[in-house]
Structure 1
Amino acid sequence: MILARQREKWLVLLLMTALMAMLLPVPKAEAAYQLVWSDEFNGPSINTNYWTFEIGTGSNGWGNNELQYYTSRPENARIENGNLVIEARRESYGGMNYTSARLKTQGKVNFKYGRIEARIKLPKGQGLWPAFWTLGEDIATVGWPRSGEIDIMEHVNNEDVTHGYMHWDAGGHASYGGSSFAFDVTQYHVYSIEWTPSYIKWFVDGVQFWEANIQNNINSTEEFHKPHFLLLNMAVGGNWPGSPDASTPFPAKMYVDYVRVYQDVGGSNPSDDIVSGGTYKLINVNSGKALDVAGAGTTPGTNVQIWTDNGTGAQRWTIYRNADGTYKLINTNSALALDVAGAGTADGTNVQVATDTGHAAQKWNIIKNPDGTYKLINPNSGKALDVASAGTADGTNVQIWTDNGTGAQKWQLIRLY
């Protein structure tokens, strides 16, 4: 979806295809997948804790000479009867003749490996190009195609097939993938990939139609061993589908029933079971009390303390994985970030909530202890989230302190939703 999908028979692509076919990994036992994140689109509006809108034309049609202007208007994206509806319209807007929507989880939710799926009903029509896909979370720093891209589902025009592709950098843009079997795309189907350290497989309704080998970074595929975020969009026009014509039905609607991500419960990282975009309460092991914003405050600089677990928004924290592998914790009541005051590094520096800026004072490494609890280490200071003097009383201050493995620095992370 970043560059035009012109499917030339490049010699280098043929060589890569041959190599991938020759070096596919030996099948192994099925992963013990469990659901780690989903959006069922059952709320009254699009969940902005998960999704951000791309706005505009991308200056050059998002690299594909597309013809739409992406908006965040409900006319183009909304929740309707338990579905996310992305609607392309023929109308003059922002200097373009069509509008649509493009949603992404960048900076909010990202994943490395797992089964990623969505149940979608697609429109048909000349010039329509709906897609469900991923990009590397580091795209802002490394650019495309070095970010990597996995197209879980793309559909163009009036075809009876969808397409699954991957794009990456191998001394220049490289791509690999192909078309599904024929089926009725205008009905609901589940589009998915299974993504492991060894391979990416593409499916429609659980039936595999393509596979790529990424084991040991073969063919420079290191882009597929790092976190990716999700995208849903419907482009109009562009180099692959061509322009709409008089036969194209507008408005054209793409219905997304759900998006779900499953991962292997074994996990390879100490914090693999932390769901980016999940909301948690943090219970201090020593005191049995919850990480809490004093007075349910919403002003930057409000103190963070421990308090009896009461289920309020002041004690709920949405955890997002940053592109560098650290995490930020956003309080659901205030939308402010867990922050080390003044970016301090000394033992006893106060912990507060502050406006989310992405500063190192708001980044935390979440590390699983052998007993199943977690410690949160601020990488700016190298120090742990700590309850002052190992206190157990309501209102005891939370600070940073040298990592010492005591109960005052151990937290249970209990996922709420």
Structure 2
Amino acid sequence: MYQVMKTKRLYAFALVIALLVSLLPITKANAAYNLAWSDEFNGTSIDQNNWSFEIGNGSGGWGNNELEYYTNRPENARVESGNLVIEARKENYGGMGYTSARLKSQGKKSFKYGRIEARIKMPKGQGLWPAFWTLGSDIGTVGWPKSGEIDIMEHVNNENNTHGYIHWDVNGHAQYGGASHAVDVTQYHVYSVEWTSSAIKWFIDGVQFKEANIANNVNSTEEFHKDHFLLLNMAVGGNWPGSPDGATAFPAKMYVDYVRVYQDGATPPPASGIVNGGTYKLINVNSGKALDVASAGTAPGTNVQIWSDNGSGAQKWTLYQNADGSYKLINVNSAHALDVAGSGTGDGTNVQVWNDLGNGAQKWNLIKNADGSYKLINVNNGKALDVSGSGTADGVNVQIWTDNGSGAQKWSLVKV
């Protein structure tokens, strides 16, 4: 994506590229990774702790003769209905004929190795060029292509496939990559790479379509053994796709449901703002009441409810991070874990305390909302910790329910 025109044929580095082509069979993605970081785009605005914006025309089209002016306006980038929306518009702005957005995690989030994926759907149209990619974090000092670049997903024009590439320096620019198998890009798909010390593999929906060998810095691939940051953007025009034509529909929208990074055996960072091993009370945003063990009970199976905040041990929970990045919540009074009854998965299944078993029914992903509150998503069933019927009275049951972003599913974590 960065300062290069790609084609569907090999360049002068044919011998280098031939050495990079793997003879391994097509494989499924590795399921052993642990979630290290994600942005689920479930708030009301773009999380500035994760992303910043590139602004402008890149001094003449970002090295690719692109035609857009990138902005940070909500017209071009926003969070909407659980998606990051990047919208390209046909309008005169900043001396260019189109606007769009380009987000990057530079200086905020960077990674070396793991599975990097995003669930995306895109528009088709002559001159459109959406992308999900990485750059080496040292680009500011070494420049491109010495920084290295991994193009996880690029799509141009009306093609029925995407592309995956790497770019690096071998006394000049080298690249390897190519087209995926057929895919309807206008529907959601998970685009990913699995990046290890020996190889980079490209996948769509878990099915591999390309692989590059980087073991032992073969062919000067040391660029791929250091931290990279993430980028999401939609270019308009440029050397590769060419210019839009009269059939290109604007505005054109790229939807990103989530971005996730998994790492093999890694210790995930704590959830934003959470102290591992810290004790908290959880105050429901809708009712203003605390997550409470009924009657300060200590027996397994005691119901969990909301109750007026009284500072008792029945309303204090110690949060311990699991190896997969989720948390268990241990009640201070009973020493039992916050648990979904019977490991249930249906809407309305009751929440209780139970002996600490370490199973999925007792694991909760803590996801920070834009207002600073958290939603707690149960690992076993993917549903949210919820106050039944959005109730506000003392004694209303707590349950699991499909994640809907309501106040009944938002909890302020107050450290005690």
1:281 maps onto 2:275 in alignment: yes
Residues 133 and 151, structure 2, Cα contact 8 Å, conserved in 1: yes
Residues 167 and 175, structure 1, Cα contact 8 Å, conserved in 2: yes
Q: Distance in 2 between matches of 1:94 and 1:30?
A: 45
State the match for 2:216 in structure 1. 216
| SS of 1:183 mapped into structure 2 | coil
| SS of 1:61 mapped into structure 2 | coil
Distance apart, 1:93 and its partner CA: 0.4
1:22/1:248 Cα in 2 relative to 1: closer, same or farther (>3 Å)? closer
Distance apart, 1:275 and its partner CA: 3.5
| SS of 1:186 mapped into structure 2 | coil
Residues 5-404 of structure 1 correspond to what in structure 2 (within 5 A)? 5-7=5-7, 9=9, 12-21=12-21, 30=30, 32-265=32-265, 267=266, 273=267, 275=269, 278-281=272-275
| SS of 2:111 mapped into structure 1 | coil
Q: Distance in 2 between matches of 1:30 and 1:161?
A: 23
**How many pairs are equivalent?**
282
Residues 51 and 105, structure 2, Cα contact 8 Å, conserved in 1: yes
Residues 270 and 276, structure 2, Cα contact 8 Å, conserved in 1: no
1:22/1:37 Cα in 2 relative to 1: closer, same or farther (>3 Å)? closer
1:31/1:216 Cα in 2 relative to 1: closer, same or farther (>3 Å)? farther
Q: Distance in 1 between matches of 2:227 and 2:271?
A: 13
Residues 23 and 213, structure 1, Cα contact 8 Å, conserved in 2: no
Q: Distance in 1 between matches of 2:140 and 2:271?
A: 20
Alignment-mate amino acid for residue 146 of structure 1 = K
**Over aligned residue pairs, what C-alpha RMSD do you find?**
2.7
Residues 110 and 276, structure 1, Cα contact 8 Å, conserved in 2: no
Distance apart, 1:7 and its partner CA: 2.4
State the match for 1:299 in structure 2. none
Residues 43 and 82, structure 1, Cα contact 8 Å, conserved in 2: yes
Listed one character per residue, the Cα deviations across residues 153-182 of structure 1 (whole Å, up to 9, x for unaligned) are: 000000001000000001100000010011
Listed one character per residue, the Cα deviations across residues 325-361 of structure 1 (whole Å, up to 9, x for unaligned) are: xxxxxxxxxxxxxxxxxxxxxxxxxxxxxxxxxxxxx
| SS of 1:159 mapped into structure 2 | coil
| SS of 1:46 mapped into structure 2 | coil
Listed one character per residue, the Cα deviations across residues 102-156 of structure 1 (whole Å, up to 9, x for unaligned) are: 0000000000000000000010000000000000001001100000000000000
Q: Distance in 2 between matches of 1:22 and 1:153?
A: 19
Alignment-mate amino acid for residue 269 of structure 2 = V
Alignment-mate amino acid for residue 275 of structure 1 = P
1:236/1:281 Cα in 2 relative to 1: closer, same or farther (>3 Å)? same
Distance apart, 1:16 and its partner CA: 1.1
| SS of 1:69 mapped into structure 2 | strand
Unaligned segments of structure 2, at least 5 residues: 281-414
Q: Distance in 2 between matches of 1:44 and 1:257?
A: 13
| SS of 1:141 mapped into structure 2 | helix
Q: Distance in 2 between matches of 1:133 and 1:276?
A: 25
Residues 35 and 268, structure 2, Cα contact 8 Å, conserved in 1: no
Distance apart, 1:57 and its partner CA: 0.4
1:48/1:10 Cα in 2 relative to 1: closer, same or farther (>3 Å)? same
Listed one character per residue, the Cα deviations across residues 227-265 of structure 1 (whole Å, up to 9, x for unaligned) are: 000000000000000000110000000000000000011
Q: Distance in 1 between matches of 2:75 and 2:147?
A: 31
Listed one character per residue, the Cα deviations across residues 266-307 of structure 1 (whole Å, up to 9, x for unaligned) are: x4xxxxx35399544377xxxx999xxxxxxxxxxxxxxxxx
Q: Distance in 1 between matches of 2:41 and 2:148?
A: 27
Give the TM-score normalised by the residue count of structure 2: 0.64
| SS of 2:171 mapped into structure 1 | coil
State the match for 2:356 in structure 1. none
State the match for 1:293 in structure 2. none
Sequence identity of aligned pairs in percent?
Answer: 72
1:22/1:2 Cα in 2 relative to 1: closer, same or farther (>3 Å)? closer
Segment of structure 1 superposing worse, 10-19 or 127-136: 10-19
Give the TM-score normalised by the residue count of structure 1: 0.64
1:23/1:210 Cα in 2 relative to 1: closer, same or farther (>3 Å)? closer
Q: Distance in 1 between matches of 2:159 and 2:129?
A: 11
Distance apart, 1:14 and its partner CA: 1.2
